Amino acid sequence: MPMIQPVRGTRDFYPEDMAFRQWLNNQIREASTQFGYQEFDGPFLERLELYAAKSGDELVKEQSYVFPDRSGSMIALRPELTPSLARMVAQRGKGLTLPLRWWSFGPFWRYERKQKGRSREFFQWNIDLIGVDTPEADAELVAVAATLFRNVGLTADMIRIKVNNRRLAEKQLQKIGIQGELLPTTFRLIDRQDRMTPDAWKSYALESGLKEEQFTGLMKMLKDLDAWKTSPEMLQYFKAAEALGADEYLDYDPTIIRGLDYYTGTVYEARDVKGNHRSILGGGRYDDLVSVVGGNPIPGTGFAMGDVVFGLVLDENGIKPDLRVSPTDILITTFEEGGESSSIQISTELRDAGYRVEWYPEPVRLQRQFKYADRNEIPLVIIIGPDEIESDKVSLKDMVSGEQVSFDRSDLLTRIRNRLVG
């Protein structure tokens, strides 16, 4: 029988992969909770309409896994979390004590062509601050991200967070006569600049309805790295970021505008400095999302970070953690067959004392058993063979130092507790 293919775009998590996923989850939990954020999660399945309400065109029509359930309702595997969050907030309505600081780490699905940094099934960290519309709130989110980066060893010369503000951009565009219907078009245009050649981009701009002088104005605007100084909101934002210790990662970048329609203020994304990867995280302020799903308007700000690019960037910078896969503290060697062997008895005794213990499940050559302990980086090995049983002793080997001692079996727990032999 031929091997059945895994579903395209999914990943198998072997123990070593699972160790990384769990490590990432822990790092995310650590950074989030340091700022008082509470963990939550939405369902993995949602009604399709929830996404149709906002995320709009591409994400819903082209990239969602959609299927009818047995009652005929159209169901989607969640492609993002923000609409669920908005729904959950709207549902509880006034019962919630604002502001809300919520975070989540879980799986998402997008039906797209697999490529570097992108898979169809991926994990994402979402974190949001809801109920406040101050620049300080936006700055806090970036500070949480910066905390994670620092904790895992990603320094400011490895990655940058590029920030802009849509209200500022709107104001600037207004000055060159771009407003109304031309505004979203121009945002999309800005978003695509780095993916097109200058010539192609220019003709795309003119086709989109920009006049020649507006195009020139736009070019000038995208090169003005001081424009943020004209925005009180951004001045306040950068000041807060500095107080929060996050400014070392931050750059103002007028070309950052972001594709999603619901952003209203601050927008940002983190990229690796070398530019070898897609964005590590992206987010911003959305001030009327909750009302879209039927609640009272509540402002919010937050971002999402995918696990795939994050892992690639850690790897490239040589700071991906070397994680131990086996949880075992102590391996008990086995010499004899039979259910009542001393090996099993000792393993139970040590487990009752709170240690993580495994016994070698068959009496193979000792060499194999030690090799097994070595490969799994098990720090301690107990040898209990005919010699030990006859003299009522136990031998203990420290796999790191290589030292081995023999002592009375009755001393076992004390000797283990003291760990280092001698």
> In this complex, which beta carbon is closest to RNA, that of residue 16 or of residue 213?
16
Smallest Cα–Cα separation from 270: which of 262, 196, 278, 192? 278
> Which region among 45-53, 243-251, 298-306, 413-421 touches RNA (by CB under 7 A)?
298-306
Q: Which amino acid is at 128?
A: D
Question: Does residue 110 bind RNA (CB under 7 A)?
Answer: yes
Question: Does residue 286 bind RNA (CB under 7 A)?
Answer: no
> Which region among 91-99, 224-232, 291-299, 399-407 touches RNA (by CB under 7 A)?
399-407
Q: Least distance to RNA from the beta carbon of 213, Å?
A: 25
Question: Does residue 281 bind RNA (CB under 7 A)?
Answer: yes
The binder of RNA chosen from 383, 412, 415, 416 (CB under 7 A) = 383
Judging by beta carbons within 10 Å of its beta carbon (0-12, 13-18, 19+), is residue 121 exposed, middle or buried? Answer: middle
Please say whether the dihedral angle defined by the alpha carbons of residues 167, 169, 172 and 175, taken in this order, is positive or negative: negative
Smallest Cα–Cα separation from 335: which of 376, 297, 384, 368? 384
Exposure string over 56-93, b if 16+ CB within 10 A, otherwise e? eeebbeebbeeeeeeeeeeebbbbbbbbbbbbbbbeee
Q: Least distance to RNA from the beta carbon of 181, Å?
A: 18
The C-alpha atoms of residue 357 and residue 338 are separated, in whole angstroms, by 19
> In this complex, which beta carbon is closest to RNA, that of residue 87 or of residue 271?
271
182 close to 210: Cβ distance less than 8 angstroms:
yes
> In this complex, which beta carbon is closest to RNA, that of residue 91 or of residue 401?
401
Q: Least distance to RNA from the beta carbon of 229, Å?
A: 27
Question: Does residue 409 bind RNA (CB under 7 A)?
Answer: no
> Which region among 18-26, 88-96, 338-346, 373-381 touches RNA (by CB under 7 A)?
373-381
Q: Least distance to RNA from the beta carbon of 377, Å?
A: 8
Which residues touch 180 (CB under 8 Å, ≥6 apart)? Answer: none
Start-end of H helices in 197-284: 198-207, 212-223, 232-243
Tokens of 122: 């991926």
The binder of RNA chosen from 83, 217, 265, 282 (CB under 7 A) = 282
Question: Does residue 400 bind RNA (CB under 7 A)?
Answer: yes
Which residues touch 20 (CB under 8 Å, ≥6 apart)? Answer: 311, 320, 321, 323
Tokens of 61: 């029509």
> In this complex, which beta carbon is closest to RNA, that of residue 69 or of residue 315?
315
> Which region among 27-35, 84-92, 119-127, 348-356 touches RNA (by CB under 7 A)?
119-127
Smallest Cα–Cα separation from 85: which of 275, 303, 246? 303
The C-alpha atoms of residue 164 and residue 241 are separated, in whole angstroms, by 14
Helix/strand number for the chain, H first, E second:
16, 16
> Which region among 301-309, 322-330, 342-350, 407-415 touches RNA (by CB under 7 A)?
301-309
Question: Does residue 105 bind RNA (CB under 7 A)?
Answer: no
- For RNA, the binding residues in 169-208 under the rule CB under 7 A are 188, 191-192, 195-196
Question: Does residue 285 bind RNA (CB under 7 A)?
Answer: no
Question: Does residue 419 bind RNA (CB under 7 A)?
Answer: no
Question: Does residue 130 bind RNA (CB under 7 A)?
Answer: no
Question: Does residue 308 bind RNA (CB under 7 A)?
Answer: yes
Residues that bind RNA (CB under 7 A): 2, 5, 8, 58-59, 63, 80, 110, 112-119, 122, 124, 188, 191-192, 195-196, 258-260, 269, 278-282, 304-306, 308-309, 365-368, 370-371, 373-375, 381, 383, 385-388, 395, 397, 399-400, 402, 404
